[in-house]
A and B are shown apart, each in its own frame.
Chain A
Amino acid sequence: MIVDNAVAIAQSRRGHFAEGSYSGRAHVLLERSLMAFRNSAWLAVLSGFFEPVLYLFSFGYGLGHLIGKIPLQNGHIVSYAAYIAPGLLATSAMNGAIYDSTWNVFWKIKFDRIYQSMLQTSLGSVDVALGEISWALLRGFAYAVGFMCVVVPAGLITNWWAVMAIPSAVLIAFGFASVGMAITSCFSTFQQMDLINIAMLPMFLFSGSFYPLTVYPGYLQGFLKALPLWQAISLVRDFTLGMVSWGILWHVLYFVVMISIGVTFTAKRLTKLFLR
């Protein structure tokens, strides 16, 4: 039965999980994002689809022409475009998630005061954090599907494990979005926000999108492997190039930990910001 009384709805949450900070309505945030998306945000989302595709054609085919074939650890030989495609997919999942969870969130906190309006209703901070992060996750999913629609006809995917790149992209987007939102909730100036851009570009260039980390000395390799983008690229690459082993679970675990920390921290920060 549908109860259409705000108080009765709120009362029904008594004794439930995280009562007071979670109302079980994170999905209404998605409903809001979808409306905002229809109104105007679709252009920004669309540009995120073209980014990896443009990189793929420029680097994969342009530069790939000079580089030739790449031998893999498992003995297979693939084209340079096929080698970098998973890296680009992982990166676009990251970029979409980061854009949504940093600049968009910053704007909503500082200028639109949207979270303030949400938290003056019976929604809780966990609903807001989960809802906003889920939108980034949907975006990651859409990018992954779109990218697949380009790379499969281009002949860059030759095994069925590659389907797993789609849920991987969702996981990656989820991880980056939760940490991105957590970091943003601590920032209050544009200068601080620029730090995010400063960190993102080198991570993109050096995390093994375009060449294997083995070109670096050991200590640097260790550092880069600890970064989330290398974890993301490895996860997607292992699937698209069919290098599947139990080791993949470590990457998955990495993101699960990242998500848990990000969501918990974000909800705590939102509470501190708007419900002191």
Chain B
Amino acid sequence: MANQEILIEAKALVKRYGDFTAVNGIDFQVRKGESFGFLGPNGAGKSTTMRIIAATLTRTSGDISILGKDPEKFGPEIKAHLGVVPQTDNLDNALTVEENLYIYGRYFGLSKKFIKPKIEELLDFAQLVEKRDVKVEALSGGMKRRLTIARALVSEPEILMLDEPTTGLDPQARHILWDRLFRLKEQGVTLLITTHYMDEAEQLCDRLMVMDKGSIMAEDSPAGLIKSYSTKEVLEVRFGSDRNAVVAPQLKEMCERIEVLPDRILLYAEDGESLLHELGQKGLHPLTSLVRRSSLEDVFLRLTGRTLID
């Protein structure tokens, strides 16, 4: 991946709305065939960055190039390179599933002859063959998302951009969607994903940029981030809301790092079980305890002092 061609490159990218800085001087590169994720809570500047890349938002300062082109100079050309799946579905409710795919291809200037067979392929990909003549309004949330993704693929884009692809979907619909995105990744489509779900980021992304308040906190593979910013395991303990704060100083000395959350305490250690055993020996008996592997949530907590989803 490292020696692949660079498709997107941002340098000191800034976006301000009046006094508010949404994106605060970020640098990043996305290479061909990569699946690149922006991970961060709401308001981190992920969607703003995505819109600047998609040439639907102008930047305040800094540089950005997509396939060597400046989006402010070559907007329509860049949009022709991209497939966009926005955060909120913007399908055409007056049209059927099939018509949505067709007209979207027409917006790019593609011919009927080109689009017709493409529709068959995409309906199959999105598992919407039986729904082809149904009006979009009647589709479930998961189907709408799949259609939005299929629609973005009509123009055979080099880069597919997905802004919070599974927000608002039930677990089953999310897994179907992940499966579809994974297939695209296997086909070599470059994916750009924003998410505030760590499981999504771990599943889909080769490389992640952790963002908070418009800045980049860290950048690496999901496994690399966990390795650099967290321990192998985490012991979660609850002593009851009053006692959590009381026992915290004592716990602090027993492990690498500790995070006191309102409802529980996270203890970072290489071996969670043995730490729990040690706690018992010192007469500390939590009401509940859980040993788990470190996740991106822990990385985020370490980097920002906050949880991803408030």
Contacts and interface: CB of A to CB of B under 8 A. Distances in A.
A173 to B, nearest CB: 21
B90 A112 contact: yes
Contacts of A63: none
A274 interface: yes
A170 interface: no
Nearest to A112: B93
Contact of A122 (B90, B96, B103, B109): B109
A113 interface: yes
A274 B56 contact: yes
A20 interface: yes
Contact of A120 (B73, B79, B103, B110): B79
A145 interface: no
B302 interface: no
Contacts of B58: 275-276
B108 A6 contact: yes
A20 B76 contact: yes
Contact of B76 (A5, A10, A112): A10
Contacts of A11: 77, 80
Contacts of A117: 86, 90-92, 104
Contact of A113 (B88, B113, B157): B88
Given A39-B94, A120-B79, A6 B103 contact: no
A28 B92 CA distance: 14
Interface in B62-96: 73-77, 79-81, 84, 86, 88, 90-96
Nearest to A128: B107
A32 interface: yes
B155 interface: yes
B104 A7 contact: no
B156 A275 contact: no
B111 interface: yes
A35 interface: yes
B14 interface: no
Given A4-B110, A20-B75, A120-B79, A28 B103 contact: yes
Interface in A97-146: 112-114, 116-124
Given A6-B155, A121-B108, A114 B79 contact: no
> Which residue, A113, A122, A274, has most C-beta atoms of chain B within 10 A?
A122
A47 interface: no
A119 B81 CA distance: 14
Contacts of A275: 55-58, 75
A41 interface: yes
Nearest to A28: B106
B136 to A, nearest CB: 10
B114 A120 contact: no
Determine the main DSSP class of A at the interface with B: helix
A194 interface: no
Contacts, number: 116
A268 interface: no
B209 interface: no
A40 B79 CA distance: 31
Given A25-B109, A122-B79, A114 B92 contact: yes
B94 A9 contact: no
B94 A41 contact: yes
A36 interface: yes
Given A39-B95, A39-B96, A7 B103 contact: no
Nearest to B67: A7
Nearest to B93: A112
A116 B107 contact: no
A177 to B, nearest CB: 18
Contacts of A40: 94
A117 B77 CA distance: 16
A170 B157 CA distance: 39
A25 B80 CA distance: 14
B94 A122 contact: no
A28 B103 CA distance: 8
A25 B107 contact: yes
A19 B74 CA distance: 9
Contacts of B57: 275-276
B232 to A, nearest CB: 43
A31 B80 contact: no
A35 B103 CA distance: 9
Contact of A121 (B92, B104, B135): B104
B156 A6 contact: yes
Interface of B: 54-58, 73-77, 79-81, 84, 86, 88, 90-96, 99, 103-104, 106-111, 113-114, 135, 155-157
Please provide the 7 A-B residue pairs with the shortest distance between their CB atoms, ordered closest to farther. A113-B90, A36-B94, A4-B114, A6-B155, A6-B80, A10-B80, A121-B107
6 contacts: A6-B110, A20-B73, A35-B99, A114-B90, A120-B86, A275-B56
Given A112-B90, A121-B104, 4 more contacts: A6-B110, A32-B92, A32-B103, A120-B86
